[in-house]
Amino acid sequence: MIRNILSNDLPRSRPLTAVLLVILIGLLVTPFIAPGVRSLDVAAKICIFIVLIASYDLVLGYTGIVSFGHTVFFGLGAYGVTIALTRLGSTWSALAVGICIALILSLMLAFVVALFSLRIRAIFYAMITLVVASAFSVLASQLFELTGGEDGLTIRAIPALSPGTVYSESFLGVTLDGRLVTYYLVFSICVLLFLILLRIVNSPFGRVLQAIRENDFRASALGYQTVIYRTLSSMISAFFATLAGALLALWLRYNGPDTSVSFTIMVDILLMAVIGGIGTMYGAVVGPTLLILAQSYLQDLMHWASLSASGIPIVGNFLAALLSPDRWLLWLGVLFVLSIYYFPSGIVGQLRRRVQRQPESGRSGRTYVECARGEQAR
């Protein structure tokens, strides 16, 4: 049953299985073991970014397309929800309208950009997506009447999801209110979306994408329309990124340029994908979890370490200054460099390499191109 749920793509590593279980159980029980506002916000953000990174890994890791414009679709989903709930009222129908309009715009934009760009070299496609992302960020900042400009838009929560709506004063030791319901709604949707993406990359369609990534010329020679497959991959990725953006706006009840469309977020997306492991899908679970936890709690950890080091004779003042919370970005960069050095193929890729098993295509001596051809023939 578990094999079917995971689309026959098991972690294939006991340490990786343990890590994934810890993350899943941790996200599931966070409201009960750490019921504070901050911990719940961190957990919800991890869930949303897992879907976002998984959607990005579909184009980068499984299709071999380098894109710097993924925040465009993420921002469209967030702005679609905030604008709809602001203009149409805080209702479920307004939420549905906002998500549908955002999805339509994302699919159209992904189709146009991919269709006119994927015929050229990959580096030019990356530059085009960077230009599109920059233009979208500028528009989001300047269209004050529509997007709220630099200040963004704050929305009222749907009554059923409002923190002021209390369903039970004591539910397993915590208050069951609209905020908790929103968290488990976000958690459930994110788990479902991730499993769908996992199914896509392990389907015959996903095998063709991997074949194109390995050798697009050979895939074309076998009869596959590589431009069509790349375009579909970009559109599917945009679809899931838009849903992730909608979930972010629904959770934060706010959206602005710095929240969903800034280049900083694009850098975070790349970091999370690389740390977790490109082309593994499970890397989309590990990468966001580690980076968001580091961004959220590294300063607190360094503050504690700085206070502890100040009592050390002779070098105490030097260590305290070195571990000052003001230098948390420096240490975050050091941790990133160390992770790349010790895990060049990402954490998930490295854990899987330690297990002496050949991939299914390797056992039969066939490449992904031949596997994709065989699965399509069935």
What is residue 52's predicted lDDT score, i.e. its pLDDT?
Answer: 97
- pTM for this model (two decimals): 0.90
* pLDDT (tens place) for every residue of the chain, 378 residues total: 778 888 888 888 889 999 999 999 999 999 999 888 899 999 999 999 999 999 999 999 998 888 899 999 999 999 999 999 999 999 999 999 999 999 999 999 999 988 777 666 667 778 888 889 999 999 999 988 899 888 899 999 899 998 888 888 877 778 889 999 999 999 999 999 999 999 999 999 999 999 988 888 888 888 888 888 999 999 999 999 999 999 999 999 999 999 999 989 999 999 999 999 998 899 999 999 999 999 899 888 888 888 887 777 766 677 888 788 888 788 888 888 888 888 888 899 888 887 745 444 444 445 555 555 555 544
What is residue 364's predicted lDDT score, i.e. its pLDDT?
Answer: 41
> In 156-282, which ranges are continuous DSSP H helix?
178-201, 204-214, 216-221, 226-252, 257-260, 263-276
What span, in angstroms and rounded, lies between the C-alpha atoms of 48 and 41? 11
Give residue 186's identity as a one-letter amino acid code: V
CA 85 to chain centroid, in Å, comes to 24
**Residue 174 — φ and ψ, nearest 5°?**
-130, 165
**Token couple for 229:** 């497959």
The two beta strands, 153-154 and 254-255, are antiparallel
Q: Are the CB atoms for 242 and 102 separated by under 8 Å?
A: yes
**Residue 145 — φ and ψ, nearest 5°?**
-65, -30
Q: Are the CB atoms for 211 and 190 separated by under 8 Å?
A: no
Domains of the chain (ranges plus CATH)?
30-377 (1.10.3470)
What is residue 11's predicted lDDT score, i.e. its pLDDT?
Answer: 87
What is residue 304's predicted lDDT score, i.e. its pLDDT?
Answer: 86
From the list 368, 298, 108, the residue with the least C-alpha distance to 100 is 108
What is residue 361's predicted lDDT score, i.e. its pLDDT?
Answer: 43
Tell me the residue ranges of DSSP E strands in 66-152: none
